[in-house]
Structure 1
Amino acid sequence: MKTEFKFSNLLGTVYSQGNLLFSPDGSLLFSPVGNRVTIFDLVNNKSHTLPFAHRKNITRLGLTPRGNLLLSIDEDGRGILTNVPRRIALHHFSFKSPVSTLAFSPSGRHFAVGVGRHIEVWHTPSTPDQNVDGELEFAPFIRHRVYAGHYDTVQSIEWSSDSRFFLSAAKDLTARIWSLDPEKGFVPTTLSGHREGVLCACFSEDQETIYTISKDGAVFEWKYLRHPNAPEQEEDEDEMDTDDDKHTRWRIAKRHYFLRNNTKVNCVAYHAASNLLVAGFSDGVFGLYEMPEFNMIHSLSISQNDIDFVTINKTGEWLAFGASKLGQLLVWEWQSESYILKQQGHFDSMNSLVYSPDGQKIVTTADDGKIKVWDVNSGFCIVTFTEHISGVTACEFAKRGNVLFTASLDGSIRAWDLIRYRNFRTFTAPTRLSFSSLAVDPSGEVVCAGSLDSFDIHIWSVQTGQLLDRLSGHEGPVSSLAFAPNGGVVISGSWDHTVRIWPIFDRTQTSEPLQLQADVLDVAFSPDSRQLAVSTLDGQLTFWSVSEAEQQAGVDGRRDVSGGRKITDRRTAANAAGTKAFSTIRYSADGTCLLAAGNSKYICLYSVDSQVLLKKFTVSINLSLSGTQEFLNSKLLTEAGPLGLIDEQGEASDLEDRIDRTLPGSTRGGDPSVRKRMPEVRVSGVSFSPAGRSFCAASTEGLLIYSLDTMPLFDPIDLDLAVTPASTLHVLHQEKDYLKALVMAFRLNEATLIQQVFEAVPHTSISLVIKDMPVVYLQRLIRFVGRQAEESPHLEFCLLWIQAIFDSHGQWIRDNRGAMDAELRVVIRSVGRIREELTKLADENCFMIDYLLSQPIDTPQSGLKTLENGEVRVMDVDGEEEDEDGEWIGLD
């Protein structure tokens, strides 16, 4: 099995903190998610996460006007410059201090950052298409100038349309006008008069008006006017420029107020082209206003908590909102009053996850009582179930994939129909129990659940919902359950140091106990139902034969899984006991590997045959999480404890930030949406996809997906100077050598080029191309055709490729079945989906034809006449029969 899994995507979290950005064309939305950046494609309804990661959570994003360079800055002021189309990090840079705001100039030549109470303007790094030499600068970040004048933190920066001037707003109750370079006769101007910190200052489209908005809800309109009591100008002074008049300056022309009681303005965005002003308030309501008349267009409540950020796309049609407390991300089209995007992640730690049997969906459960179904291809949550009233601890699919079962601490097991998206069955025990583990018979007829309160295993019938049996034998809480893939037995792991094998469909309910040395944390069956893997509290992984009930092998995983020192640990990571066990284990699709993870930052991949650690995956390098460092910095240890755990809320500058609404002594707070200050990094669940090409892990940061298919866009294997995209297209269109063009496209490994060549091959030449295809490219071709069969509308074309591949290379594929397993699963899944869709379409067509035949059609208007022998003759509009050239239609 291949082990080159790489980070592919991040689901489960859509927004953490910071600002949102629209791409210049408005089709992409950039959102900071922890220490990564997720890009939402609003047109194609997809999302992907950039592969790079910061060392701390991201606070600011900036995008060049062309949309090709992204600058992301974290809490410590460290920035990463990224090429967005290529998804490559170009440069790392540190601004030495936290950055409060970031804005690129419309010309794209400069960008300004607010560093404390100073403003720094930097030159934008040039790209190869802008440079004459075609090379990047050696020093990409060159500072242009530093502007000082504010007395408190700068909160926003807005450029003029000609990039010569910019506005800054700060917490010192003022806004200021600056010039990029010294201008003749221009003096930096201060706009004062607000009673609270100024959130935003922006120009109107003609730049004759400036709007400033403060946190208390005051909107001031500034114009360049003469003083009303100034002496009138003389005739010879009229010819002078008004800018030279000492009585003319920026003055407040109008004052407007939002007038919302007991609420503050949290964020503001102004769209100059359409004169729209959007304000997000602290009670979760946003208002849309038309300037300069300040007419409210409409208002809407979109959250129960603060709205942290709002932005408008270039056309002024879409508004994007982010609320960090609940992790909400919304895109609202204000003209049609409809949601373009409405996503929300879990606001509590995830407990378990499971892949659907077709590999297209992932289900996650969490302590917030919600069950979310995520689409793997799009990255979006497609449905959320909220019927559980307490934390959901386990989830499992029936074999066919249309029914999902979940176990919860509220004492219920629920069955969900994933076609109609409803809860159709609820299972409960005679006494109130908090269920912590779950197992489902592959046939979907029986469901079992274990609890930490009772030592019995409860079994229900899915058809009737009745409790069938209670299996007794364990002397401690049941921590995990698993059915054999062939449905013969169920195994249970308990804290009494035993694993029991239950043949529940036999006449006798005796169990076979397997004795271990410590508490059992998790159990897993191999796909062939012959082997059993057990993880225990002492960090051991043991492998058992199910038929002989004896141990076959064992792995000491304490050294592999231990890593990461929590901020409260008094011992080093190597000596800490809390991270030295695997809490979740799963077999790979072919049964050759075992994936294991626990309360540490590592995910371990073991070989089952040789018991060797194949690879370790680091879940996160985010220093904003506790447990990602091997060694703690002694400078951060004070007399009051670790610096990261000291509550500095009482020293906040704003009153609403100083108010503590948490319950005394509570680690989570009175508000269930309040997240921990420094959550601990851990992995609560792992799962392999049915195809074996990827696996996912439920971690503190979200749902991480690692895949084998995250290949680089350019792979220089078997390349020479003659293999280029242009030469490939020349071979394809001019020389008509389809095999050579396809091999060249695979060598370049560019997805769009491969698809272009693939679709240009005539259907009559498919068998000839496949017959001479080198076997070194066969694996990638099968995987590509399988994916095309899932996504492309050309069903027959893809099926012809699949048929030709197996006709020409069937024997080679059979001989190399082990290496081709994952690709064959993709093909089988896509062909099965095509068969189901065609069957459904054929049934619908039969019903439609039966319905049409049952309708009376003997009407003059229809132009048809039914004869006695069951035939239909075409008629004129007047009702007369046509001549001998008329068309006859026969009916059965």
Structure 2
Amino acid sequence: MKSDFKFSNLLGTIYRKGNLIFTSDGTKLLSPVGNRVSCFDLNKNQSFTFSYQHRKNIQCIALNKQNTLMISIDEDGRAILVNFVSRIVLHHFNFKSKIQTIQFSPCGKFFAIGIGRFIQIWKTPDLTEDRQFSPFIRFRIYSGHFNDILNISWSKDSRFILSTSKDMTARLYSLNSDEKDVGMTFSGHRDYVINAFFNSTQEIIYSVSKDGALFKWEYIEEDEEENKPSSWRITEKNFFYADGKLKCASFRPESNLLIVGFTNGEFRIYELSDGFNLIQSLSMGQNTVNTVEINNSGEWLAFGSSKLGQLLVYEWQSESYILKQQGHFDSLNTLCYSPDGSRLVTGSEDGKIKIWDVISGFCLMTFTEHTSSITQVRFSKKGNVLFSSSLDGTIRAYDLIRFRNFKTFTTTERIQFTCLAIDPSSEILVGGSQDTFEIYVWSVQTGQLLDSLTGHEGPISCLSFGMENSSILASSSWDKTIRIWNIFARNQTVEPIEIQSDVLSLTMRPDCKEIAVSTLDGHIAIFDVEDTKQLHLIDGRKDILQGRYLNDKFVSKNSNRGKHFNTICYSFDGLTLLAGGNNNSICMYDIENEVLIKRFVVSENMSLDGTLQKLNSSKITDSGINSDLIDVQREASDLEDRIDNSIPGSKRGDASLRNTRPEIRVTSLEFSPTNSAFAAATTEGLLIYSINSDLIFDPFDLDVDITPESIIESLNEKEYLVALIMSLRLNETYLIHRILESIPLIDIPLICNDVPIIYVNKILEIIGNLLIKNNSPHIEFYLIWIKNLLINHGTYIMSNKFKFQSSLKLLSRFLNKYAKEIVKMGKRNQYLLEFINANKGLKKENENEDEDEEMEDVEDEEEKEGIIEEEDDDEAGWFGPNSKPSNGIKFVGPDDSDSDDNDDELIDV
């Protein structure tokens, strides 16, 4: 199995803090998520997360107008310059102070930052200038404010800069040194000035303050008669009169649209071209709208709420949401892949279950029926039913076709379920609890409690079924034993397997021949299911990367905290084991050799507790306390931010209100059914690690004679089998694709029969990728390939299922995706097909009648001439396959109609 997994995406968390940014074309939205940046493509309905990480949470981001350079700055003022197109980090820079805002100039040559009460102008790194050792060059510094700067705005021509501050003023500066006299201070507000903007003519300035006041400033030319110099004056004052404080504002000069967000969750849209006109007023909840942004076309508005982790993109003209996503409010507890690997399900402490699309990265559905923490989620074998256990005392079943909770499983006594398992046939459901020492068995069809398995002498920690044998159940407990049960046996007397320490996690190999358990002493033990012998023992303590906590007086290597694995999982081939726990590492082990293949660092974010490795002596005060534990910002923060509305004694919710840092940990791990990715539920969110096969050159049995030129030459000579095998050995996708589609249809059965068995899996995998990822239009052509490969090599595939697991899952995902569309298309065209068949029959009858009439005329003439011969007319009226049924008939596909109610409009004759 390949081990070169790399970080590919971050799900489960949408927005944390900071500002949102639209690209210049308005189709992509950038959102800071912790110490990373996520990008949402609103047209293609896809998302990705940049792979680089900051040392702390991101404070602000900026993107130049050309969409080539992006700068992100964390809470400590450390900046990272990124090539936005290639997603490559270009440079690291430290501003050595907290940065509140950053803005690129419209010309793209400069960017301005607000650092304390000063404005710094820096030159944008340019390829035309040789600055290898100093990509960042400071151009100018402006001062004048008496408190921290909140926001910066540029004029359209990149000549002037507007800054707003906590000192209740806004200031105007010029970028050109010969225009120093244009400097101006805009005072008159009675609270923080949140933002200020130029209009399209740059002769009007709007300033917005926290108390809900909007001032309009106009430039008045010099009046010699009244002896008044040229200056900016207030010409209009307007007030929002909202129930909450104003938190953010954004302005679009071309359309004169002003969008404001308040602390009570309300946002409003105003039009300022002719007065102060309210267009719309909506609410996104009861929590603060922390940031707002409008795209260049002025159609889409983006809102972010950090407390809920909510992200909205709203189209104000049609009054509809383009994007409405929200992450989990609390930490993730469990995850599960769907059988085809296209979806991920997560369960959280907040009692919600979310279904995520792996390809797009968006949340498809949220279930809120549970009233307490979710402990485990599992799919049925077909993937159309989802089961979840919770501490509220119920196990629920969800229909993923209609998206509803259709069944609830309970016991006679109210207990908290901590684990569940569903057998491969999806007939039996089992659940375990830490309140009682029994394992409960239900019938999925009837929902009745069938049995309770007794024998454990401690709380049940894990339950697991295999994928092949539906009767074998493995259970683990805190009584230092694991047991193997036969669910359908009459006698349930089971001999326990003794373990040296408490069992934290258990998993069964897909073929039901081995089970692996992780224990409190940091070991992973693998046992044979049949004879209960220990086969392997892995000591994971030396491989765990455990960080240092803020209140620790010692380095991380001397800490015993987190030196064990809380979750483990098998790969689908059963050769690799993945392990994680309350630490900063995910370990991948080769079971046969008992060695560590690779270790993944979960996060480098020092805003989380447990990521720092060394003791930082500069953070230690004279009293021996870490300065990071002292809340130095609380006195300087706003009143509404200091108020704690949480219930007294509650340990859930927004942990930042109690000045605590979340600890880094991995709560759940699972391999994708395709074996090309795995997911980890962590404190940072749902991390997806995958193998990017497009960028990997992985030849198979290659020699010097196999080149692209020789492969094309064999193809031109119609040596199809030789060309196909050579391309598979070279493993270049574009060559394999070309050769597959160059083989004539009539030769496919012969090629599939003669292709060596070692290449069958590769061909199936490539066909699956072409159909799923590349959306190939040659569906029937590739289905013929698949059919012939399965006919000729099906016996070997069935006896080696796990070798073909990845490719078969890809094909299964494709078939599930298109089967519904084809059935729907068939239903929509039902009457059209009946009409064609009827038309075809009528045409045959008419042709037969015409030919009969012609034959009668010929016979009459022959009778007159005395020449009558009998001839066979079996082919009379034959209707060829290439003949067209009728002119103007239109077949309707799945994209030609929006609903099944339009069947009467499908036929156009």
Please, which of 146, 149, 154 is the counterpart of residue 141 of structure 2? 146
- The AA in structure 2 aligned to 1:64 is N
Please, which of 379, 391, 401 is the counterpart of residue 373 of structure 2? 391
The C-alpha deviation readout for 1:166-215, integer Å capped at 9, x for no partner, is 11111111111111121347331111111111111110011110000011
Give the secondary-structure state (helix, strand or coil) at the position aligned to 2:640: helix
Shift of residue 637, structure 1, vs aligned partner: 3.1
Residue pair 1:326, 1:673 contacting (<8 A) in 2 also: no
The C-alpha deviation readout for 1:787-839, integer Å capped at 9, x for no partner, is 22124151436606845995999799989979964653355325643784477
Which residue of structure 1 aligns with residue 400 of structure 2? Answer: 418
1:464 pairs with 2:449: no
Which residue of structure 2 aligns with residue 69 of structure 1? Answer: 69
Shift of residue 572, structure 1, vs aligned partner: 3.1
Using a 3 Å threshold, how does the CA distance of structure 1 residues 426 and 830 change in structure 2: closer, same or farther? closer
Shift of residue 782, structure 1, vs aligned partner: 5.1
Which residue of structure 2 aligns with residue 880 of structure 1? Answer: none
Which residue of structure 2 aligns with residue 115 of structure 1? Answer: 115
Structure 2 distance, partners of 1:291, 1:838, is 48
Using a 3 Å threshold, how does the CA distance of structure 1 residues 656 and 689 change in structure 2: closer, same or farther? same
Structure 2 distance, partners of 1:42, 1:143, is 36
The C-alpha deviation readout for 1:272-311, integer Å capped at 9, x for no partner, is 0100000000000001001041110010011220010000
Using a 3 Å threshold, how does the CA distance of structure 1 residues 748 and 503 change in structure 2: closer, same or farther? closer
Residue pair 2:340, 2:810 contacting (<8 A) in 1 also: no
Residue pair 2:249, 2:292 contacting (<8 A) in 1 also: yes
1:206 pairs with 2:201: yes
Using a 3 Å threshold, how does the CA distance of structure 1 residues 479 and 571 change in structure 2: closer, same or farther? farther
Structure 1 distance, partners of 2:442, 2:542, is 41
Please, which of 253, 269, 272 is the counterpart of residue 272 of structure 1? 253
Which residue of structure 2 aligns with residue 644 of structure 1? Answer: 628
Using a 3 Å threshold, how does the CA distance of structure 1 residues 713 and 294 change in structure 2: closer, same or farther? farther
- The AA in structure 2 aligned to 1:180 is L
1:833 pairs with 2:816: yes
Which residue of structure 2 aligns with residue 47 of structure 1? Answer: 47
Residue pair 2:150, 2:164 contacting (<8 A) in 1 also: yes
Structure 2 distance, partners of 1:591, 1:60, is 44
1:629 pairs with 2:612: yes
Give the secondary-structure state (helix, strand or coil) at the position aligned to 2:178: coil
Using a 3 Å threshold, how does the CA distance of structure 1 residues 871 and 637 change in structure 2: closer, same or farther? farther
Shift of residue 142, structure 1, vs aligned partner: 1.2
Q: Output aligned runs, 1:106-505, within 5 Å.
A: 106-127=106-127, 131=128, 138-184=133-179, 186-225=181-220, 232=225, 247-261=229-243, 263-292=244-273, 293-485=275-467, 486-505=469-488
Structure 1 distance, partners of 2:569, 2:885, is 65
1:12 pairs with 2:7: no
Which residue of structure 2 aligns with residue 656 of structure 1? Answer: 640
Which has the larger displacement, 705-714 or 359-368? 705-714
Shift of residue 338, structure 1, vs aligned partner: 0.3
- The AA in structure 2 aligned to 1:171 is K
1:33 pairs with 2:14: no
Give the secondary-structure state (helix, strand or coil) at the position aligned to 2:26: coil
Using a 3 Å threshold, how does the CA distance of structure 1 residues 672 and 62 change in structure 2: closer, same or farther? closer
Which residue of structure 2 aligns with residue 238 of structure 1? Answer: none
Structure 1 distance, partners of 2:629, 2:110, is 38
Residue pair 2:724, 2:740 contacting (<8 A) in 1 also: no
**Count of residue pairs brought into register by the alignment:** 843
Using a 3 Å threshold, how does the CA distance of structure 1 residues 851 and 407 change in structure 2: closer, same or farther? farther
- The AA in structure 2 aligned to 1:349 is S
Structure 1 distance, partners of 2:848, 2:178, is 87
Residue pair 1:763, 1:800 contacting (<8 A) in 2 also: no
Which has the larger displacement, 177-186 or 277-286? 177-186
The C-alpha deviation readout for 1:564-613, integer Å capped at 9, x for no partner, is 12223344322322211110010001000010110001001111111111
Q: Give the alignment's Cα RMSD to 1 decimal.
A: 4.2
Residue pair 2:442, 2:450 contacting (<8 A) in 1 also: yes
TM-score (norm 1): 0.86
Please, which of 676, 690, 702 is the counterpart of residue 693 of structure 1? 676
1:785 pairs with 2:767: yes
Shift of residue 653, structure 1, vs aligned partner: 4.1
Which residue of structure 2 aligns with residue 241 of structure 1? Answer: none
Using a 3 Å threshold, how does the CA distance of structure 1 residues 111 and 521 change in structure 2: closer, same or farther? same
Structure 1 distance, partners of 2:655, 2:609, is 21
Using a 3 Å threshold, how does the CA distance of structure 1 residues 192 and 831 change in structure 2: closer, same or farther? closer
Question: Percent of counterpart pairs with the same letter?
Answer: 46
Which has the larger displacement, 689-698 or 782-791? 782-791
Using a 3 Å threshold, how does the CA distance of structure 1 residues 779 and 108 change in structure 2: closer, same or farther? farther
Using a 3 Å threshold, how does the CA distance of structure 1 residues 407 and 820 change in structure 2: closer, same or farther? closer
Using a 3 Å threshold, how does the CA distance of structure 1 residues 507 and 165 change in structure 2: closer, same or farther? same
Shift of residue 502, structure 1, vs aligned partner: 1.3
Structure 1 distance, partners of 2:736, 2:264, is 49
Give the secondary-structure state (helix, strand or coil) at the position aligned to 1:622: coil
Specify every segment of 5 or more residues in structure 1 that has no aligned partner in the other structure, as ranges: 234-244, 858-862, 875-883
Shift of residue 155, structure 1, vs aligned partner: 1.0
Using a 3 Å threshold, how does the CA distance of structure 1 residues 105 and 839 change in structure 2: closer, same or farther? closer
Shift of residue 645, structure 1, vs aligned partner: 2.7
Residue pair 1:276, 1:290 contacting (<8 A) in 2 also: yes
Structure 2 distance, partners of 1:644, 1:872, is 95
Shift of residue 664, structure 1, vs aligned partner: 5.2
Structure 2 distance, partners of 1:439, 1:298, is 50
Using a 3 Å threshold, how does the CA distance of structure 1 residues 756 and 97 change in structure 2: closer, same or farther? farther
- The AA in structure 1 aligned to 2:150 is Q
Residue pair 1:787, 1:830 contacting (<8 A) in 2 also: no
Shift of residue 496, structure 1, vs aligned partner: 0.7
Residue pair 2:764, 2:808 contacting (<8 A) in 1 also: no
Using a 3 Å threshold, how does the CA distance of structure 1 residues 68 and 667 change in structure 2: closer, same or farther? same
Structure 2 distance, partners of 1:246, 1:755, is 79
Residue pair 1:770, 1:808 contacting (<8 A) in 2 also: no
Using a 3 Å threshold, how does the CA distance of structure 1 residues 823 and 387 change in structure 2: closer, same or farther? closer
Which residue of structure 2 aligns with residue 878 of structure 1? Answer: none
Which has the larger displacement, 690-699 or 79-88? 79-88
Residue pair 2:724, 2:736 contacting (<8 A) in 1 also: no
Give the secondary-structure state (helix, strand or coil) at the position aligned to 1:828: helix
Please, which of 594, 598, 608 is the counterpart of residue 611 of structure 1? 594
Structure 2 distance, partners of 1:457, 1:812, is 39
Structure 2 distance, partners of 1:610, 1:55, is 36
Structure 1 distance, partners of 2:542, 2:281, is 57
Shift of residue 143, structure 1, vs aligned partner: 1.1
Residue pair 1:311, 1:321 contacting (<8 A) in 2 also: yes
Structure 1 distance, partners of 2:830, 2:139, is 73
